[in-house]
Amino acid sequence: MICRKCAKALPYVKSPYCQKCGKPIDSYEKEYCADCGTRPHRYEEGRAALLYERGARRAIDRLKFYNRRESIPFFGICLARTARDVLPRWRPDCLVPVPMHPKKRAERGFDQAALLAEELGRRCGVEVRKDLLVRTRYTGASKKLGRSSRRKNLRGVFAVPQGAEIPDRAVLVDDIYTSGTTIDEAAYALQKAGVRHIFFLTVCIGRGQS
């Protein structure tokens, strides 16, 4: 449901990019972006397909807030193209969608991260584990919060259910990576449960600081 002209015009992430989170940086001589260079993360590495701007931002917003789920297959293609460069090295046992709280999922009618993970799993042949991570409390939108407030808002919000089979290597899947707080909190919950190697893939990523 995206024409070739629009698909070609989307802001794809290109090198050079941060070797930790995948945000674009301004020099091949740098290894990390300013964000990753000044704060540790719970995950080992991550990548995104598109920059969260222009047409990509509009498409993601339409998916999330206007129920435009027909874009899921295209986003799955974008994720699969990004994944093929890293999955042979990451060797994941499963994909884990970053979950919504049941209340928010009921309000929206679907969970976009779960749909994206299913589409990516189908294209890459990797198992999707929607049972491995749950959101334990309802939180309001955090995109307008500062980094410290966002971290406080999301602290301890994810958990792994008791008795869940724990993989050794997992890839978190979500729609957007901005500050990294959501992915870090999800990764922390997986770490506490015993997952040793955690990575992430998202459709979009913010620019941050180079």
When pLDDT is averaged across residues 49-59 and rounded to a whole number, the result is 93
Domains of the chain in sequence order: 4-205 (3.40.50)
**pLDDT category of residue 187 using cuts at 50, 70 and 90:** very high
When pLDDT is averaged across residues 66-86 and rounded to a whole number, the result is 94
User: What is the number of helices (H) and of strands (E) in the chain?
Assistant: 9, 6
Q: Return the structure tokens found at 138.
A: 């309802």
pLDDT in tens, 167-176: 999 999 999 9
More confident residue, 210 or 95: 95
- Where b means 16+ CB within 10 Å and e means fewer, 119-151 reads bbbebbebebbbebbbbeeeeeebeebeeeebb
pLDDT in tens, 106-147: 888 899 999 999 999 999 999 999 999 999 987 766 555 556
Percent of all residues in the chain with a pLDDT value above 70, rounded to a whole number: 92
